[in-house]
Amino acid sequence: MQPMETLSTVATLRARVRAWKQAGERVAVVPTMGALHAGHLSLVHAARQQADRVIVTVFVNPIQFDNADDLATYPRTLEADSRLLSDAGVDVLYAPTAAQMYPPGFATRITVSGVSEGLCGGMRPGHFDGVATVVCKLLMQTLADRAFFGEKDFQQVQVIRRMVTDLDLPVEIISCPTLREADGLALSSRNRRLDASMRQAAVALPRALEACARAIAGGAEVVPALAKVAQDLTAAGFERVEYVELRAEADLQPLTALPPGTSARLLAAAWLDGVRLIDGMPVPPAA
């Protein structure tokens, strides 16, 4: 196995990808903002199984942050990330600078309507424009055949799928299930901001969602079941519940009942001790 290369310019990246493609190799990309954890590595693992070459991008994308403090304090751990990726058998770590991605005069934004509205999109104005714009750039820069994303950010995956379909981008989007700690908490770079007691309280989020998903799949009424999640989170010490909703998986339409044959997902965002946590659970179609 060759050692991992770290590249930061589109020209060097394209030259490498061109050589791979001329040799008939399939290329995968895993876009990330760094601060890597086992959830990201599970995407890398899936990418390695489904492609000959794997690129991981590490870029803290300024235009998807709606809050300057959040951008300033976002963990940047490139050295540690690089070691993890090299050990995971990644071929190229692509880490461009903000000035390279958005040089003076940069004036384009991609807006995906519909699936980007409400949920995180409703709470974070401009967030999904920033995500769609940077992901489009990364897909075009890497020219990957397949791109891998985690389902913890379920709305993000649907926004990216819609963009890829609408813009005829020649890439297959693969989403991978959320990786969880032993107690059920979804892996997230934000978990490291929780102290020990808040980390324990955080488990209320997956537990409440799981109970709600089971109740709805078993025929419980949707609206009271969603309200119960919010109550459980408040009782566990969450200071603010942004949303708890049931949405159709395919187009993220809000649901107040589970129509037969519809795959749905419970989606929630809530604040615990100043940390915004999001999670989601599939709800199997009613028989």
As measured in angstroms, the least distance from the Cβ of 238 to ligand PAF is: 22
Sheet with 264-272, strands from edge to edge, namely: 240-248, 264-272, 275-283
156 known member of a binding site: yes
Could you say which DSSP state residue 52 is in? S
Q: Give the Cα separation of 55 and 34 in Å (integer).
A: 13
127 known member of a binding site: no
For residue 244, the surrounding DSSP H or E stretch is: strand 240-248
Residue 32 vs 82, nearer CB to ligand PAF: 32
As measured in angstroms, the least distance from the Cβ of 156 to ligand PAF is: 6
Residue 82 vs 226, nearer CB to ligand PAF: 82
Longest Cα–Cα distance of the chain, Å, equals: 58
240 known member of a binding site: no
39 known member of a binding site: yes
Residue 173: both structure tokens together: 């989007």
Catalytic residue set: 40
221 known member of a binding site: no
Residue 7 vs 215, nearer CB to ligand PAF: 7
Q: Which of 163, 182, 120, 119 is nearest to 31 (CA)?
A: 163
Q: Give the Cα separation of 110 and 121 in Å (integer).
A: 14
Residue 16 vs 152, nearer CB to ligand PAF: 152
As measured in angstroms, the least distance from the Cβ of 242 to ligand PAF is: 17
Pairing type for strands 275-283 and 264-272 reads antiparallel
272 known member of a binding site: no
Report whether 170 contacts 146 (CB < 8 A).
Answer: no
Could you say which DSSP state residue 74 is in? S
Question: Which residues of this protein are in contact with ligand PAF, per CB under 6 A?
Answer: 31-33, 61, 64, 131, 134-135, 153, 156
Residue 57 vs 212, nearer CB to ligand PAF: 57
As measured in angstroms, the least distance from the Cβ of 79 to ligand PAF is: 19
Q: Give the Cα separation of 241 and 189 in Å (integer).
A: 20
Residue 47: both structure tokens together: 């990418």
For residue 222, the surrounding DSSP H or E stretch is: helix 222-236
34 known member of a binding site: yes
Residue 242: both structure tokens together: 């942004």
As measured in angstroms, the least distance from the Cβ of 57 to ligand PAF is: 7
Residue 255: both structure tokens together: 């649901």
Show binding-site residues for (R)-pantoate: 64, 156
Show binding-site residues for beta-alanine: 64
Show binding-site residues: 33-40, 64, 150-153, 156, 179, 187-190
